[in-house]
Copies of this chain bind each other. A is one copy, B any other.
């Protein structure tokens, strides 16, 4: 799975005057990200982003259909970082799917917390995206679900997780259960005070259901 920037340009506004031949999306997103980080994304105007790049605001619209598209792309990049780290855990060194499950659950919870409470002002964007159920958030949640399914399936294959539980339903239920410690809206509502112990307890309980009995 290589980076496929050149291909996935469904975002390229085809109707616009002329889209750039060289792709300046990443430049733009870098600048936007920096500004969002510095002053909170709600205070940043597209003029600010353009100025930071020494171009006119109008020029941004050849790379992005509108401001919402920029916001979503920045969101996407932030969430992709979490996804990548999580996939790394899931495919990582640890061989035992049970252990991987534990690591994965905790890793995601802590990364989401960081995103919301320690990512400077980027949390505004993350929260807005979550509240509005923006497409990148939906995609992200799908990825998380895929991760869970992957680990459970592997656990079942290796005989350390119960194979008599239906994979899809079990995946869905596990994913639902983790929402309390994974979902930004929940983290925002309850804060992240006992997040670690809560996540650990939740994970332990779920594993009691998933693990094969001794």
Q: Is the CB of B202 within 8 A of A177?
A: yes
Q: Is the CB of A205 within 8 A of B206?
A: yes
Residue from A131, A172, A176, A183 having most chain B Cβ neighbours under 10 A: A176
Residue from A165, A169, A170 having most chain B Cβ neighbours under 10 A: A169
Copies in the complex: 2
Q: Quick check: is A204 within 8 A (CB to CB) of the other chain?
A: yes
Residue of B nearest to A194 (CB): B172
In the bound assembly, the distance between CA atoms of A45 and B133 in angstroms comes to 33
Among B176, B207, B209, contact of A181 (Cβ-Cβ < 8 Å): B176
In the bound assembly, the distance between CA atoms of A170 and B173 in angstroms comes to 17
Q: Quick check: is A81 within 8 A (CB to CB) of the other chain?
A: no
In the bound assembly, the distance between CA atoms of A205 and B152 in angstroms comes to 13
Residue of B nearest to A141 (CB): B190
In the bound assembly, the distance between CA atoms of A206 and B169 in angstroms comes to 12
With A179-B179, A180-B177 as given contacts, are A170 and B205 in contact (CB-CB < 8 Å)? yes
- Chain A 145-188 interface 0/1 with B at a Cβ cutoff of 8 Å (1 = within): 00000000000000000100100011011101101110101100
Q: Quick check: is A213 within 8 A (CB to CB) of the other chain?
A: yes
Q: Is the CB of B202 within 8 A of A176?
A: yes
Q: In the complex, what residues of B have CB within 8 A of residue A169's CB? A: 201, 204
Q: In the complex, what residues of B have CB within 8 A of residue A204's CB? A: 169, 173
Residue from A131, A185, A208 having most chain B Cβ neighbours under 10 A: A208
Q: A176-B177, A185-B186 are in contact. List 9 more A-B contacts (CB 8 A).
A: A162-B208, A169-B204, A170-B201, A176-B198, A183-B189, A185-B189, A205-B206, A206-B209, A208-B208
